[in-house]
Amino acid sequence: MTLSTTKTLLTFEDYIAYDDGTENRYELVDGDLVKMPPPIMEHFLIAKFLEQALDTEIKRLQCPWLCFRESGVRTGLRKSRITDVSVVTLDQAQELKGRSVVFSTSPLLVIEVVSPDSVTRDYRYKRTEYAALEIPEYWIVDPLESKVTVLVFNEGLYDETVFVGDQSLVSPTFPELVLIVEQILAAGNLP
């Protein structure tokens, strides 16, 4: 006799309502909950530095934008990712008042900081999903390889520019922002 089990796939709505009573963070990948490990210290510090730098630039430019750390973005029918840093419009944020911070529309910019367990996810899966969502700009900050890749959406694909060392990033979303790769990566070091 063969025993069969049926696995129930979660809908996006199930995911938004899901609460297991813990502080665990999950992404929704093809209807399955995937537990995300807490970030390592270097990862956390780099994301914090970038959030603060972008907050400062948004304020300086007086843009109606907000910068978030660890917000969600719906990337498909049964898919949702947790971004390390994202920039959205004030209108997008207001749509979520009183609800979970998982955006169903494309952020202006998403940043992922690579950790040893996220290399394939950040470079391959998220890149594909963010392109399908037509997110205009996606940065992959990689302290493991000492580089930052800036991807700019263009005609269905991302154009890629890699920055290293003392190079300043070039960002279409923040054209006046001065961020040097070494400075970003050094933010991951404790004083």
28 within domain boundaries: no
29 within domain boundaries: no
Whether the Cβ atoms of residue 106 and residue 51 lie closer than 8 Å to each other: no
9 within domain boundaries: no
Strands 79-82 and 32-36: unpaired
* Residue located via tokens 């979303």: 173
Report the mean per-residue pLDDT for the chain: 93
- Phi, psi (5° rounding) for residue 2? -100, 130
Percentage with pLDDT > 90 across the chain = 82
Question: Residue 24 and residue 182: Cα distance in Å, rounded?
Answer: 32
Sequence-ordered strand ranges (E) for 30-69: 32-36, 65-69
- Which residues fall within 8 angstroms of residue 95, CB to CB, at 6 or more apart? 105
- Give pTM, 2 decimals: 0.92
Which domain, by its residues, includes 155? 39-186
- Phi, psi (5° rounding) for residue 9? -85, 140
CB atoms within 10 A of CB 183: 14
pLDDT for 3: 54
Q: How far apart are the first and last CA of the chain?
A: 63
Q: Name the token pair of 4.
A: 């069969």
Q: Which residue has the higher pLDDT, 138 or 38?
A: 138
| Model confidence pLDDT, tens digit, residues 21-33 | 998 899 999 999 9
For 57, the 3-state DSSP assignment is: helix
5 within domain boundaries: no
6 within domain boundaries: no
Q: Name the token pair of 32.
A: 């399955």
* pLDDT surpassing 70 at residue 4: no
pLDDT for 38: 86
| Model confidence pLDDT, tens digit, residues 110-152 | 999 999 989 999 999 999 999 999 999 999 999 999 999 999 9
* pLDDT surpassing 60 at residue 62: yes
Mean local confidence (pLDDT), 38-47: 93
145 within domain boundaries: yes
Question: Residue 4 and residue 141: Cα distance in Å, rounded?
Answer: 43
pLDDT for 80: 94
Give which of 164, 146, 71 is closest to 109, Cα–Cα: 71
What band does 6 get if pLDDT is binned at 50, 70 and 90? low
Secondary element (H or E) of residue 148: strand 147-154
Mean local confidence (pLDDT), 153-172: 97
30 within domain boundaries: no
Tally the domains of the chain.
Answer: 1
17 within domain boundaries: no
What band does 1 get if pLDDT is binned at 50, 70 and 90? very low
- Domain harbouring 68, CATH code: 3.90.1570.10
What band does 191 get if pLDDT is binned at 50, 70 and 90? confident
| Model confidence pLDDT, tens digit, residues 81-93 | 999 999 999 999 9
pLDDT for 29: 93
